[in-house]
Chain A
């Protein structure tokens, strides 16, 4: 497997970033979450005052922290792909590790949030808002945990000194998955924390 020179790998004119299969999965998952978003919108429209009151129980500061963390991991992952293309394994490894560290921070903050809510008496059984809050952020957290495994796989690839096209395609696929985890959170954060 021979690696193309860095200049050739840069700035492709028109090509699918990663495997075609990952894009079927990403778009499919985005549609599933679109249904979740609409469910939240219906819950809001049904009783705006209750939605706003429940939202007050969420920790906006922690939601903002997690948003900054995920957006930053999306940047480090995009830069990791660049480093891999430019055949800079040490930089790529550092960037993927930084992305994974961010994923762990995100998950830890989420666990703190869940604990605080349950201690304060807000559970999935409380009402529709909290049912959907726990379900949808839980589904998203599952994506973060799967993402950690995906990033672990990417880490094994970018460690190699020379990457072929197939390797780079796998790195791009892992990155596309991680960016999806980021963008789904951006909408969940907006609807759950800042709507009411």
Chain B
């Protein structure tokens, strides 16, 4: 019988926690500034991508759904970075 606990899902969960630690670490270590802004925004959307692809199972989803999600994960952080660093 296959196990309920899945190594990939656990790895994604761990990666999400590490990513949170990275952005908090950069925020605390570097303080305000363009580097912190870019790291915080990039890390947040990498996390979203991980949640979508693995937890929401978009890696098995039809291409249209995957592309809409991928577009969101690229377009929104770019817009945010442009506004934040303007």
Show the binding face of A for B, using Cβ within 8 Å. Answer: 6, 10-17, 23, 27, 30-31, 34, 37-38, 41-42, 44-45, 48, 52, 60, 64, 67-68, 71-72, 74-75, 77-79, 82-83, 86, 88, 91, 95, 172, 175-176, 179-180, 182-183, 186-187, 189-191, 193-196
Q: How far is B35's CA from A76's CA once the two chains are assembled, in angstroms?
A: 33
Contacts of B84 in A (CB 8 A): 41, 44-45, 195
Tell me if B74 is interfacial: C-beta within 8 Å of chain A: no
Whether the pair B56, A176 counts as a contact (CB closer than 8 A) is yes
Whether the pair A17, B60 counts as a contact (CB closer than 8 A) is yes
Quick one: given A10-B2, A64-B24, A74-B51, are A42 and B17 in contact (CB under 8 Å)? no
Whether the pair A16, B4 counts as a contact (CB closer than 8 A) is no
Q: Closest 3 interchain pairs by CB?
A: A190-B44, A194-B27, A41-B83
**Contact residues of B between 48 and 64, Cβ < 8 Å to A:** 48, 51-52, 54-58, 60-63
Contacts of B57 in A (CB 8 A): 17, 172
Whether the pair B6, A79 counts as a contact (CB closer than 8 A) is yes
Contacts of B13 in A (CB 8 A): 71-72, 74-75
Q: In the complex, what residue of chain A is closest to B2 when comparing beta carbons?
A: A86
Q: How far is B1's CA from A88's CA once the two chains are assembled, in angstroms?
A: 10
Whether the pair A86, B27 counts as a contact (CB closer than 8 A) is no
Quick one: given A72-B13, A179-B55, are A27 and B68 in contact (CB under 8 Å)? yes
Q: In the complex, what residue of chain B is closest to A63 when comparing beta carbons?
A: B24
Contacts of B6 in A (CB 8 A): 78-79, 82
Q: 28 A-B residue contacts at CB 8 Å? A: A6-B2, A14-B61, A27-B68, A27-B69, A34-B76, A34-B79, A37-B76, A38-B80, A41-B80, A45-B86, A67-B20, A74-B13, A75-B10, A75-B55, A78-B9, A79-B4, A82-B6, A91-B4, A179-B56, A186-B47, A186-B51, A187-B45, A190-B41, A190-B43, A190-B44, A191-B40, A195-B37, A196-B32
